[in-house]
Amino acid sequence: MNISIDLNKTKAILIGNSDYLNFPKIGPVDGNLDDIFNILTDENIFGLSEKNIILIKNKNHQEIFESIIDLLSDESNLNIETLIFYYSGHGYRDANSKELFLTGINSNQNSIKISGLRFNDIKLLIEGSYIQKRIVIIDSCYSGLATMDNSGEFFTKDELNIKGTYILASSASNEKSFFDSSYRNTFFTKELISILNYGIKIEDPYISLENIFINIQQRLKHSSPQRKTNLNSSNFYICKNKFIQKELPGPINQTSPARNAKEDFNNSKDQLLINKHLNKLNNLTQIKLKDEGINSVNQVFYLPATRKSPIVYLNPILKIYRISGTSFLENTLDFWVPVLNWFAHYLRINSEPFTLKVFLDYINSSGLKLLLRLFRLFEQNHPRINVIWIIPEDEIDTIELVEDLQSLLGAPILKISLSNRHLTYGKAFCAMSSYNL
State whether 180 and 210 are in the same domain.
yes
Average pLDDT estimate for 193-208? 91
Contact 368, 398 (CB under 8 A): no
**Is 1 within the bounds of a domain?**
no
Are both 147 and 292 inside the same structural domain? Answer: no
> 269 and 140 in one domain?
no
pLDDT value, residue 151: 45
The answer to whether residue 35 is domain-embedded is yes
Q: Are residues 39 and 125 in the same domain?
A: yes
CA angle 19, 356, 328 (to 5 degrees): 120
- Same-domain check for residues 146 and 180: yes
Residues 188-210, mean pLDDT to the nearest whole number: 92
246 within a domain of the structure (yes/no): no
Band (47; pLDDT cuts 50, 70, 90)? very high
Residue 119 has pLDDT above 90, yes or no: yes
Per-residue 3-state assignment (H helix, E strand, C coil) for 160-203: HCCCCEEEEECCECCHHHHCCCCCCCCHHHHHHHHHHHHCCCCC
pLDDT(32) > 60: yes
Higher pLDDT, 411 or 374: 374
Q: How many CB atoms lie within 10 A of CB 362?
A: 26
Instruction: Tell me: pLDDT of 304 over 80.
Output: yes
Whether the per-residue pLDDT at 270 is higher than 60: the answer is no
Q: At residue 161, does pLDDT exceed 80?
A: yes
Q: Is residue 250 part of a domain?
A: no
C-alpha–C-alpha distance, residues 299 and 341, integer Å:
13
Query: Mean pLDDT across the chain, nearest whole number?
Result: 81
- Assigned domain for 254 exists: no
Confidence bin at 331 (pLDDT 50/70/90): confident
Band of pLDDT at residue 285, cut at 50, 70 and 90: very low
> At 207, which CATH number?
3.40.50.1460
What pTM was computed for the model? 0.73
The whole-number pLDDT of residue 146 equals 41
| pLDDT given for residue 374 in this prediction | 93
Of the three residues 209, 240, 271, the one that is the final residue of a domain is 240
Mark whether 218 and 319 lie in a shared domain: no
Say yes or no: 305 and 183 in one domain: no
HSE of 100, CA atoms in CB hemisphere, 13 A:
22
Question: Is 221 buried (19+), middle (13-18) or exposed (0-12) by CB count in 10 A?
Answer: exposed
At 357, give phi and psi (nearest 5°): -100, 130
d(CA 371, CA 409): 12
Residue-level pLDDT at 351 = 85
pLDDT at 183: 92
Q: At residue 2, what is the residue type? A: N
pLDDT digits (tens, 9 = 90+) for 65-93: 999 998 887 777 778 999 999 999 999 99
> Which of 240, 270, 290 is a domain's end point?
240
Q: pLDDT value at position 281? A: 38
pLDDT single digits (tens) 213-261 = 999 999 987 778 889 999 877 689 999 998 874 444 444 333 333 334 3
Q: In this predicted model, what pLDDT tens digit does every residue of 340-355 receive, in sequence order? A: 999 988 888 888 899 9
Whether residues 110 and 233 fall in one domain: yes
- Residue 34 neighbours by CB under 8 Å, 6+ apart: none
- What pLDDT shows up at residue 292? 47
* Lowest mean pLDDT segment, chosen from 124-133, 279-288, 331-340: 279-288
Asked if 84 and 158 sit in the same domain, the reply is yes
Same domain, 198 and 345: no
Please, what sign has the CA dihedral across residues 318, 321, 324, 329?
positive
251 in any annotated domain: no
Q: What is the mean pLDDT of residues 117-138?
A: 92
Number of domains in the chain: 2
Whether residues 272 and 224 fall in one domain: no
CA distances from 175 to 24, 28, 180, 223 (A): 9, 12, 8, 11
Backbone angles phi, psi at 435, to 5 degrees: -70, 120
Mean pLDDT of all residues in 140-167: 71
Strand partners, 302: 313
Percentage of the chain exceeding pLDDT 90: 44
Backbone angles phi, psi at 270, to 5 degrees: -90, 60
| Structural domain contains residue 255 | no
Hey, which of 113-122, 315-324, 386-395, 415-424 has the most confident mean pLDDT? 113-122
Show the domain range for 95: 7-240
Is the same domain home to 164 and 310? Answer: no
Strand partners, 85: 13, 136
Enumerate long-range contacts of 379-382, CB under 8 Å, 24 or more apart. Answer: 379/409, 379/410, 379/411, 379/413, 381/347, 382/411, 382/412, 382/413
Please tell me which residue, 435 or 123, carries the higher pLDDT value.
123
124 vs 163: CA distance, rounded Å: 10
